[in-house]
Amino acid sequence: MNLDHHKNAIQENGFTVINNVFSEQEIRKIGEIIQNIDTSKETFRKSDDLFAIRQFLKEIPQVRELVFNENIKDIITEIFGEKYIVVKSIYFDKPEKSNWYVAYHQDLTISVDKKADISGFGPWTTKQNQFAVQPPIEILENIFTIRIHLDATDEYNGALKVIPKSHAKGIYRPETIDWSVETETICNVEKGGIMIMKPLLLHGSNRTTNGKKRRVIHIEFSDKELPEKLKWSENMN
């Protein structure tokens, strides 16, 4: 797998798509494990428009081996670096009839183990005993996100739309997007493919209009230590 082109694309544009990372069989196995779990826990969120599992790799440890196949390990080492660890994982299932859409935004928070008064960290939010905080920008700039697609995804079932290069513009308020200079790209990903993106890339997604599912495993990686009092809420080599 020659990954230099993808590494450059992430640096330059803030994202890249790599298809054929997982086989049909690997995707089916991952899907079967998710299908058979107890969904009554409070880290699971269920509505008509979305089913989500927070701390996905912690909650369902039996998927880890399948998720971190040889291809993904190579990609992490080659593109991110040796010392990157998992700091957040979520599973999203956008059902066939979902009206769920997401307006343009940047991912500005990280998940941590507790709330602490630390200069440069804030504002804070708490969801289902999960602490999230906006950290200093250099921590956000250092994160890579991998989105593993368990279904083929295009603009008709909620593929991400992104604004290339917006990851390099610091905190970028969506209401200030100047469409005379910015362009939108739709990131179609095949089943078994991945999208890698930087959290500061402006991104959003449309409602599903073609009656097809969109299941995605979202994993964030960093090689930064947090200040003394704080730990990443997930922390996995």
pLDDT in tens, 107-136: 999 999 999 999 999 999 997 778 999 999
Domains of the chain: 4-98+143-222 (2.60.120.620)
- Report the share of the chain in percent with pLDDT over 70: 99
Place of tokens 């798509």: 17
The DSSP H or E segment spanning 22 is none
Confidence at 94, pLDDT banded by 50, 70, 90: confident
What distance in Å separates the CA atoms of residue 186 and residue 175, rounded to the nearest whole number? 20
Whether 38 shows a pLDDT value over 90: the answer reads no
pLDDT for res 37: 83
Buried b (16+ CB within 10 A) or exposed e, 164-201: bebbeeeebeeeeeeeeeeeeeebbbbebbbbbbbbbb
What distance in Å separates the CA atoms of residue 17 and residue 78, rounded to the nearest whole number? 15
pLDDT in tens, 156-211: 998 999 999 999 999 999 999 999 999 999 999 999 999 999 999 999 999 888 98
pLDDT for res 233: 92
Q: Token pair of 127, please? A: 């969801």
Q: Token pair of 32, please? A: 């079967």
Using CA atoms, how far residue 116 sits from 131, 132, 143, 227, 229, in Å, is 10, 11, 21, 10, 7
Using CA atoms, how far residue 76 sits from 50, 104, 153, 221, in Å, is 28, 27, 23, 9
From 45-59, 112-126, 218-232, the region with the lowest mean pLDDT:
45-59
Buried b (16+ CB within 10 A) or exposed e, 36-67: eeeeeeebbeeeeeebbbbbbbbbbeebeebb
Q: Token pair of 199, please? A: 């959290």
